[in-house]
Amino acid sequence: MKSYLAAAIQMTSKPDLAKNLSQAEELIELAVRQGAELVGLPENFAFLGKEVDKIAQAKEIAQKSEQFLKRMAQKFQITILGGGFPVPVGDEPKKAYNTAVLVTSNGQQVAHYQKVHLFDVNVPDGNTYQESSTVMAGQEIPALYDSEQLGKLGLSICYDVRFPEFYRYLSRQGADVLFIPAAFTAYTGKDHWQVLLQARAIENTCYVIAPAQTGNHYERRYSHGHAMIIDPWGMILAEAGTAPGVIVAEINPSRLQQVRQQMPSLKHRVFV
């Protein structure tokens, strides 16, 4: 593993696939111009609209998202994470897997993850979310992608951040970097987003890269924003605020080693 620059992209995706992918490409190019070799897109980067519309377009969204990620990886010679898009479930036309995909610079898909924790929550602001109505839960935490250049990368999506055992599993496999792409609700994000990200970084002594959705997507659907890159000590290296854009920070193996020597808590675990 070497030192390199990673980017987290922040978007305001809408119910318009073509426009979302166009916006994503502009932001990816901006990240690459700043030197990023590893780029993360948020959950729902390709489409963020009503559930019924998402399912109706899921096949097209999946096909074009996968093609887009491969094209971006090859065009810009980067490793890129598509942080979550619907992939239809076999013969089940009413559900899709919320899927994150990691693609390397040769256009090869090297890891994918189907979201296991589904957001079925009545938020105190009056909004009700029932992700399981259209999403099929995944069954497995994916194996790490072990890159000689970028380190060991672990995938997750949004609501997973509330389940520390998920990330402890990844850290036990040797994770160096945890991806947490999200479309965190505005109401919960203001209180929980930052502290949860920092906790996952600190307790696992890993870097966290958290691309995010921000602003109003449609009707009453608002996301919190504040995409972040956090170091293994819990220090916020970069934070995006509430506007669409790109943040870039260094992923440094020497820093990883330093923190793990100073705070070797993973070696002190009693209950595994």
Its domain, for residue 103, covers: 4-268
pLDDT at 15: 97
Q: Are strands 145-147 and 151-154 parallel, antiparallel or unpaired?
A: antiparallel
Question: In the beta sheet, which residues pair with residue 38?
Answer: 6, 79
Question: What CATH number corresponds to the domain at position 230?
Answer: 3.60.110.10
Q: Phi, psi at residue 207, to the nearest 5°?
A: -70, 145
**What tens digit of pLDDT does each residue of 177-187 get?**
999 999 999 99
Q: Phi, psi at residue 29, to the nearest 5°?
A: -60, -40
d(CA 12, CA 44): 10
Q: What is the pTM of this model?
A: 0.97
User: For the chain, which residues score pLDDT lower than 50?
Assistant: none
pLDDT at 92: 64
Containing H/E element for 89?
strand 79-89
Residues 6+ apart with CB under 8 A from 142: 111, 112, 113, 154, 155
When divided into structural domains, the chain yields a total of: 1
| Catalytically annotated residues | 43, 115, 158
d(CA 63, CA 67): 6
Contact between 49 and 88 under an 8 Å Cβ cutoff? The reply is no
Structure tokens at 223: 């996301």
CA angle centred on 249, ends 252 and 84, rounded to 5°: 105
**CA separation, residue 157 to residues 14, 104, 132, 145 (Å):** 19, 19, 15, 16
